[in-house]
Amino acid sequence: MNLLDYIVVVGYLGALLVMGFSMRQQESKGDYFLGGRSLGWKPLTLSVMATQLSAISFISAPAFVGLREGGGMIWLSYELAIPIAMILLLGTVLPTLYKSGVVSIYDYLEQRFGRATRVLISVVFQFSRAFATGIMIYAVSIILQGTMGIEAWQAVILTGIITVLYSLQGGMKAVVYADAIQMVIIVLGTIACIAIGLNALGGLDVLIAEVPKERLVAINFTSFGFNGDGFGFLPMLFGGLVLYASYYGCDQTQAQRALSARNENDLRKMIVANGIVRFPITLLYCFSGLIVGTLALTNLDFFEKIPANNPDWLMPTFILNYLPHGLIGLLIVAILSAAMSSLSSAINSLSAVTVEDYCRITNKDLEHSNYLRLAKFTGLVWGAITLVLSLFAGNIAPTIIEAINKVGSVFYGPILALFLLAVLSQTLKGRHVNLGLIAGVGTNIIVWLFVPDVFWFWWNVIGFVVTCSVAWVTSIVWPTHHPKGVALQKLTFHSILTWKDIILLSAFFAFMVITCMILPSLFS
């Protein structure tokens, strides 16, 4: 990197701070955590995707496709269930949560099932999200270590402090608009890598001739995920349906954006857009990995610059050695952007859940100024916790990231079951769903420890089915009534799903499957 690259990086970080401080005037908790419910579907869609398609995706997806052993375009199978998951969310969880007017989605569970259910879920969310985000920040710090020539702790501070400051000052508005800008930068950076990489390789004809054909397989109908194999169509479809429905609808970091939409129509548009636009962006990531990976495999000098057994260095090494100055700075900004997107989302959501839980547990109705002061303080605390966790991740971050994904699949199914039962059933009580949640998580842990041949994507389905089954059976054999004076709300089910949404998302799902099937033939 030279002076021009550093000017680009510093200029971008300075602009983020200015934006955050310019949005620091909030009049209520709804303004701070939900942007006053004034945000349109376009910035919200970009914000959601910027958080999901994070720095790890920007770096690791191309590395998985282009260089990692056993990798390739099969990465696309992770995306197949998203349109179907969006149909489920539009018809059940998200519209009901939006209509309820809550800030913390776990507040909804308290209104429906009682405080014990809310506390149980929110504690799991807070610490798992902080830990996962901390590991992500560590992984990015390693990349910045190599590209900017700074120490890992300096990279953590650089990423973390700026993000904490603009998130705390600007609240959800700052998070969403910064995410939208960051998503644009990431996409443009990926397109630049594709163009420059293809030129360095010698053109499309050379790519078709040299790319390893086994890396072109994007869908596998023969693997069922029960014999130690993975990435099969069925586990990725059914496991992915539960995983993505749970993540987008029952995880505060994502659901909080849905709750920030200015009306239900914008909420619907945001979810439908996310179900459609995400796949092309992931396809860009994968195509860049295919090009740059083929370049590395056919260029010994480039290949030797990538640390052994660490394919995640594929894209940073390419950026430093093939991109012109200025554009290098822009791509470093893209990596920083992706990291900041995940961190800012985590900080705002963790703060929202913590403050709302505190107010509920202590039965305090804080004044506006005290509420916002506590919100910013808890955001600062969670930011610090996340950054400290990232400093202690060590050099086993890739393994830990994989482990975090598996740990997430232990909880996603049971959590989705809990919210669906809250929305769809008026008879189940807190005791029933709490036992179901414990049984679902416990079953997944047993499968993880003692049935290793079951692909971990199936854990999402297993946990969901067990949680629902135990909750219903328990309600039959152990009926319960609330004590006098304790009346939980019977919340009204609400759906904004239309036939147009169903047809559009279903058609796009079919398009994704067909694209994955014909992809190898396009390179023959």
Contacts made by residues 122-127, CB under 8 angstroms, sequence distance 24+ = 122/353, 122/357, 124/411, 124/415, 125/251, 125/252, 125/353, 126/350, 126/353, 126/354, 126/382
* pLDDT interval class at 391 (50, 70, 90): low
Q: Find all residues with CB under 8 Å of 410, minimum gap 6, and list them.
A: 441, 444, 445, 448, 459, 463
194 and 47 in contact (C-beta within 8 Å)?
Answer: no
The predicted model gives 180-201 an average pLDDT of: 85
Joined tokens for residue 325: 């100055």
The predicted model gives 50-63 an average pLDDT of: 73
The predicted model gives 99-105 an average pLDDT of: 80
- Lowest mean per-residue pLDDT among 30-34, 94-98, 163-167, 413-417: 30-34
What values do phi and psi take at 368, rounded to 5? Answer: -50, -50
* pLDDT interval class at 83 (50, 70, 90): very high
Rounded CA-CA distance 333/322 in Å is 17
Higher pLDDT, 85 or 479: 85
Query: CA torsion 8→10→15→21, rounded to 10°?
Result: 170
The predicted model gives 353-364 an average pLDDT of: 67
Per-residue pLDDT, 170: 47
* pLDDT interval class at 143 (50, 70, 90): low
Containing 133, the helix (H) or strand (E) segment is: helix 115-148
Q: Find all residues with CB under 8 Å of 328, minimum gap 6, and list them.
A: 1, 5, 147, 319, 320
Rounded CA-CA distance 58/53 in Å is 7
- Lowest mean per-residue pLDDT among 217-231, 245-259, 338-352, 409-423: 338-352
The predicted model gives 133-143 an average pLDDT of: 69
Which of 173-182, 227-236, 398-407, 452-461 is the most confident on average? 452-461
Average pLDDT over the chain, rounded to whole? Answer: 80
Task: Report angle CA 492, 493, 498 to the nearest 5 degrees.
Answer: 140
Higher pLDDT, 262 or 356: 262
Which 3 state secondary structure label does DSSP give 72?
A: coil
Which of 129-138, 204-213, 322-331, 395-404 is the most confident on average? 204-213
* pLDDT interval class at 343 (50, 70, 90): low
Higher pLDDT, 120 or 142: 120
CA dihedral sign, ordered 90, 93, 94, 98:
positive
**Angle between helix 93-100 and helix 105-113 axes, rounded to 10 deg:** 90
387 half-sphere exposure, CB direction, 13 A CA radius? 22
The predicted model gives 466-486 an average pLDDT of: 79
- pTM assigned to the model: 0.82
DSSP 8-class letter at 455? -
Question: Looking at the predicted structure, is the pLDDT value of residue 387 above 50?
Answer: yes
Which 3 state secondary structure label does DSSP give 149?
A: coil
156 half-sphere exposure, CB direction, 13 A CA radius? 23
Per-residue pLDDT, 152: 64
Per-residue pLDDT, 172: 53
Per-residue pLDDT, 25: 54
Higher pLDDT, 99 or 388: 99
Per-residue pLDDT, 173: 59
Rounded CA-CA distance 415/247 in Å is 9
Indicate the CATH number for domain 3-480+492-518: 1.20.1730.10
Q: Bridge-partner residues for 261, per DSSP?
A: 39
Question: Looking at the predicted structure, is the pLDDT value of residue 376 above 90?
Answer: no
Identify each DSSP E strand in 42-87 by its residue range.
none
